[in-house]
């Protein structure tokens, strides 16, 4: 496992703004095989980092589905984040920190920065590009722009254009952050209480009614306060605030809002039809933030794709928790015998429009 950093002298954002000395933190695991066709590139979600062994165990790891014995795994921390890649708490060329003045970025910007890193690493072919949620949005943008680069594409709980419902949830979180007066003090801990509240709001879109009923139910019938669900919301908010910052959170949620693969490409359907990779699309039955209708739309407009569902009580967070179901769908997508080194017997995906 290697935690690495590279700096690019120049990077133009989609809106034309020019950034200098853009740093990217990334992890790699394993090595290339002789044919150079065992690259697995993982795009992470909103508040994750570039080490999927930490946040996606069993999917990635020494004994995971994607593992360093068979694969060369790459995951890069996204633009705007707070885990080393240039973002709001990074300094500009004058050693000034951006805070709430970091420029608007998009999921397309994130994908284009991945492309710069890919060229830096000398990778000419990627066996599988995979991403969930915001990671899936990046993966879609990249697969549309570099149509011949990817053999396989796996999209989990994601969409082609962020929905009004998703944007409303994100705006509610930003309102909570902006209601914290410390956000405007431009300190590294600015907006902390607002971020705690924002995470609490977000959890309501990540989980489901049944998830809370199963895990946060109180056993005392005469209880009037100190509820488990209330404690859980505070705990999860504090947990995020201890490892993330409000400025990156605002920047990244705005980037998610911007997601629209059809922007400057005629329309969304035309953009999706550019994808050439064999594509697996996975939806979660209880996901209210990225409902199944959004994955079905992807399936119907990406020519060589199949659609699968995961039944889960966890809602959107099922992509982080339902390891066995994910591995089952990965296995059936790829091959009859587990061998992902570039020499395997692949299923003919054909032109399937729907398989549940």
Judge contact between 261 and 271, C-beta under 8 A.
yes
* Residue 239 DSSP label: H
Residue entry with tokens 């209330």: 230
Among candidate residues 114, 162, 316, 329, the one labeled active-site is 316
Q: Is 133 a catalytic residue?
A: yes
Strands 18-29 and 2-12: antiparallel
Among candidate residues 50, 90, 133, 312, the one labeled active-site is 133
Neighbours of 220 (CB within 10 A): 8
Helices 107-121 and 246-257 cross at an angle (nearest 10°) of 100
Q: How far is CA 300 from the centre of its chain?
A: 22
Neighbours of 303 (CB within 10 A): 15
Distances (CA, A) of 320 to 55, 67, 218, 237: 7, 17, 25, 18
Q: Is 287 a catalytic residue?
A: yes
Among candidate residues 109, 180, 257, 287, the one labeled active-site is 287
Name 305's bridge partners.
Answer: 279
Active site residues: 133, 287, 316
């Amino acid at each position: 496992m290697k935690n690495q950093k590279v700096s690019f002298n120049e990077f133009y954002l989609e809106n034309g703004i020019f950034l200098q000395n853009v740093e990217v933190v990334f992890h790699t695991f394993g090595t290339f095989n002789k044919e150079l066709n065992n690259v697995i590139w993982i795009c992470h979600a909103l508040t994750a980092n570039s080490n999927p062994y930490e946040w996606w165990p069993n999917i990635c790891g020494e004994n995971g589905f994607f593992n360093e014995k068979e694969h060369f795994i790459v995951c890069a921390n996204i633009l705007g984040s707070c885990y080393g890649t240039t973002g709001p708490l990074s300094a500009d060329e004058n050693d000034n920190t951006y805070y709430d003045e970091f420029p608007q970025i998009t999921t397309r910007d994130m994908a284009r920065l991945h492309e710069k890193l890919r060229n830096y690493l000398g990778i000419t072919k990627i066996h599988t590009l995979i991403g969930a949620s915001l990671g899936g949005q990046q993966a879609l943008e990249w697969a549309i722009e570099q149509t011949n680069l990817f053999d396989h594409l796996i999209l989990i709980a994601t969409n082609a254009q962020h929905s009004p419902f998703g944007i409303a949830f994100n705006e509610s979180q930003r309102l909570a952050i902006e209601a914290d007066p410390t956000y405007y003090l431009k300190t590294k801990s600015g907006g902390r209480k607002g971020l705690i509240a924002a995470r609490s709001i977000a959890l309501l879109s990540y989980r489901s009614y049944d998830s809370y009923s199963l895990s946060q139910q109180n056993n005392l019938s005469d209880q009037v306060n100190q509820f488990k669900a209330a404690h859980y919301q505070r705990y999860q908010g504090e947990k995020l605030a201890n490892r993330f910052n409000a400025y990156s959170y605002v920047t990244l949620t705005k980037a998610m809002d911007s997601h629209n693969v059809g922007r400057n490409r005629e329309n969304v359907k035309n953009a999706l039809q550019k994808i050439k990779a064999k594509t697996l699309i996975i939806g979660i039955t209880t996901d209210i933030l990225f409902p199944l209708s959004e994955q079905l739309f992807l399936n119907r407009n990406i020519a060589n794709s199949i659609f699968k569902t995961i039944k889960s009580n966890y809602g959107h967070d099922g992509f982080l928790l339902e390891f066995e179901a994910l591995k089952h769908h990965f296995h059936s997508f790829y091959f009859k015998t587990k061998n992902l080194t570039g020499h395997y017997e692949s299923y003919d995906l054909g032109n399937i429009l729907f398989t549940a």
